[in-house]
Amino acid sequence: MTARESTDVLVVGSGFGGAIAAYHLAAGGARVVVLERGPWLEGKDFDHDYLLGSSYTRVFDFVAGDGMSVLGGNCVGGGSVVYFAALPRAPRFAFERHGSIGRRMWPSAISRDTLEPWYDRVAEAIPVVKQDWNDVSYAGGLWAAACDHSGRTANPVPVGVDREKCTNCNWMMAGCRFDAKRSMLFSYLPAAVAHGAEIRPLHEVQHISKAPDGDYRVHYSHIDGEDYRIRTDGGTIDAKIVILAAGAGATPVILQRSEAQLGRMPHAVGRYFSGNGERLNTAVVNEDRVRDVLGLSRGGGLAYAANQIGKGPVVANWDHLDGSLPEYSRFSLEQLYFPPGLGTILAQAPDATGPSWFGVDKKEMLRQWRSWLILFLMVEDDNEGVFGPPPPSGNAYRISQQMLGRGTLSYVPSPNTLSGWAKADAEVKEILERDGLAKVMPWTNDLVGAYTVHPLASCRIGDDPETSALDDSHELRGHPGIFVTDGSAVPGALTVNPAMTIAALAERAMPGIVRAAQRRGVQVTYGAPAPAGGTTSPMVSAVR
């Protein structure tokens, strides 16, 4: 049985871009439906284990491509539920980048200065904590001490964490059961629901077509709550405005699959994908040298041995975020706890005499896992990713019951990207191997290619129709009434965590989207205040 409905606005995805759009349009009086592919979980549902069927496998989407793998959110709240809550603003030079096209890739209307008010608006809804050194975990403290020892600087990372609720359990990547992480579940989404928006989990959008009256018709399937490979009867919803916010690994796939019904897509749909220049290094810390050289101790005879204690990233080195440096030599280095799973598989053993990511040397490295320090590198890349023909349904060919899929993304890092990684790798090595503090190796790219937790730019905004899928209002070129507000709209790598920038761009896009909705006959206004993220109660999953 196929259901057919209609609404004013249909939002695909409920992460930063989708939640912000849903709130403003619902608050302005529009009828809003949000379709989310993943389940709807609350704090009590987030498990502290990695078993199949736990929240860990339910809320993530890991898609392996050809040369690049993407880890994203798959739940109500999307990436805001599984991110590390790091909320820096992009450096000024990021908006002036030329990248692979040889000229400014961002629209001329957008700069750090013009985006600043929208950053401020997001910070009203998601209180950003400027951590001090009392908030820093053992891992962050070790990284800061090593930076200082080598003559570098270190900075506490601004985060969206309620310090009163945080227990330093370090499970935040798989959702926070203590409601300490300020995700969309505590700000824009409950505010959207309060204004009448309807959120439907386990609804996967397949494609968009045109309805006879000129509206857009969104086709979806129902996803089984236990086995995501199982799709059952879905339906369609007609809408005057469609906002795609399914993530940079899914939004372009939906549009590619829609081309047969909607007509030609802009050339940049599914091209210019950026992994935000991301790369990870693992350092195996020499406990004795940490004690002797840095003078650190956490009691009980331990100098460190605290890889698992803390909360996400708390300290970053930003010495190379300098606009006077040449492009591709600017990067940030961020201490990060990456939980077991990919982190243990992809880490390479330093000074291995045989294979570096498995074998005897790797086994010994795993034995020392408490003495690991993981560094997250974000460099400037060349937007090398291209999506091939879309799979028959979904964003990937589903391999396992949950989480794992095989995608169509192809990625071959350019010499510029490789150079950026090499420079960042060398800097980490220089800081942490000084005076024998640690041995450092990057994660291997041999198994799943490069990898990113911050996919960007696969439907990017810009001024040039040849190199951007969206204009500077985030409207899809040639398809009025379709907008994109997720990370796929960001033109390129930012050298820092992108959540604040994605959210700020979505906020900036909303006045224009409201005007477009008005032109298409929707009774809606713009001007709702930022939702009170500091006081909003957690959203309950009563609407299913």
Question: Is 176 exposed, middle or buried, given 0-12, 13-18 or 19+ CB atoms closer than 10 A?
Answer: buried
Query: Residue range 366-384: average pLDDT?
Result: 96
Structure-model confidence comparison of residues 482 and 174, the more confident one? 482
Q: Shortest CA distance to 459 belongs to which of 290, 254, 270?
A: 270
Which two three-digit tokens encode residue 25?
């349009």
Q: What per-residue confidence (pLDDT) applies to 312?
A: 83
Which two three-digit tokens encode residue 250?
């899914």
Q: What per-residue confidence (pLDDT) applies to 341?
A: 78
Whether the predicted pLDDT of 523 surpasses 70 = yes
Mean pLDDT of the chain: 94
Residue 253 lies in a domain: yes
Q: Which pLDDT band holds residue 2 (cuts at 50, 70, 90)?
A: low
Whether the predicted pLDDT of 64 surpasses 90 = yes
Residue 533 lies in a domain: no
Whether the predicted pLDDT of 500 surpasses 70 = yes
Query: Residue range 92-112: average pLDDT?
Result: 97
> pLDDT tens across 281-295, in order?
999 999 999 999 999
Residue 111 lies in a domain: yes
Residue 325 lies in a domain: yes
Residue 231 lies in a domain: yes
Residue 90 lies in a domain: yes
Q: What per-residue confidence (pLDDT) applies to 423?
A: 98
Q: Residue 4: enclosing H or E segment and its boundaries?
A: strand 3-12
Whether the predicted pLDDT of 537 surpasses 70 = no
**Structural contact between residues 381 and 389, judged by C-beta atoms closer than 8 angstroms:** no
State the DSSP code for 259. H
> pLDDT tens across 148-178, in order?
999 999 999 999 999 899 999 988 888 999 9
Question: Is 535 exposed, middle or buried, given 0-12, 13-18 or 19+ CB atoms closer than 10 A?
Answer: exposed
Which two three-digit tokens encode residue 477?
């070129």
Range of the domain at 222: 5-520
Give the integer Cα–Cα distance in Å for 105 and 460.
9
| Number of Cβ within a 10 Å radius of residue 340 | 11
Q: Which pLDDT band holds residue 301 (cuts at 50, 70, 90)?
A: confident
Which two three-digit tokens encode residue 111?
């700069």
3-state helix, strand, coil in the chain (%, to 5): 30, 25, 50
Q: What per-residue confidence (pLDDT) applies to 94?
A: 98
Q: Residue 345: enclosing H or E segment and its boundaries?
A: helix 342-346
Whether the predicted pLDDT of 1 surpasses 50 = no
Whether the predicted pLDDT of 345 surpasses 70 = yes
Residue 337, amino acid:
Y
Q: CA angle, corner 272, sides to 207 and 476, nearest 5?
A: 45
Q: Which pLDDT band holds residue 539 (cuts at 50, 70, 90)?
A: low
Query: Residue range 494-510: average pLDDT?
Result: 98
Q: Which pLDDT band holds residue 474 (cuts at 50, 70, 90)?
A: very high
Q: What per-residue confidence (pLDDT) applies to 535?
A: 39
**Percent of the chain predicted with pLDDT > 90:** 87
List own/partner pairs for 461-464 with CB under 8 A and 24 or more apart.
461/106, 461/107, 461/110, 461/489, 461/490, 461/491, 461/505, 462/105, 462/106, 462/107, 462/268, 462/491, 463/107, 463/108, 464/101
Q: What per-residue confidence (pLDDT) applies to 509?
A: 98
Give the integer Cα–Cα distance in Å for 350 and 435.
16
Which two three-digit tokens encode residue 214?
């000129």
Based on the structure, what is the number of domains in the chain? 1
Per DSSP, what are the bridge partners of residue 33?
10, 198
pTM for the whole thing? Answer: 0.96
Give the integer Cα–Cα distance in Å for 533 and 185.
9
| Number of Cβ within a 10 Å radius of residue 151 | 10
Residue 538 lies in a domain: no
How many whole angstroms from its chain centre is CA 527?
A: 27
Whether the predicted pLDDT of 459 surpasses 60 = yes
Whether the predicted pLDDT of 534 surpasses 70 = no
The CATH number of the domain holding residue 337 is 3.50.50.60
| Number of Cβ within a 10 Å radius of residue 174 | 22
Give the integer Cα–Cα distance in Å for 508 and 513.
10
Residue 544 lies in a domain: no
Using the CB atoms, write b or e for 387-424: b if 16+ within 10 Å: beebbeebbbebeebbbbbebbbbbebeebbeebbebb
Location of structure tokens 């991301």: 278
> pLDDT tens across 22-38, in order?
999 999 999 999 999 99
Query: Residue range 415-431: average pLDDT?
Result: 98
Q: Shortest CA distance to 303 belongs to which of 316, 312, 317, 293?
A: 293
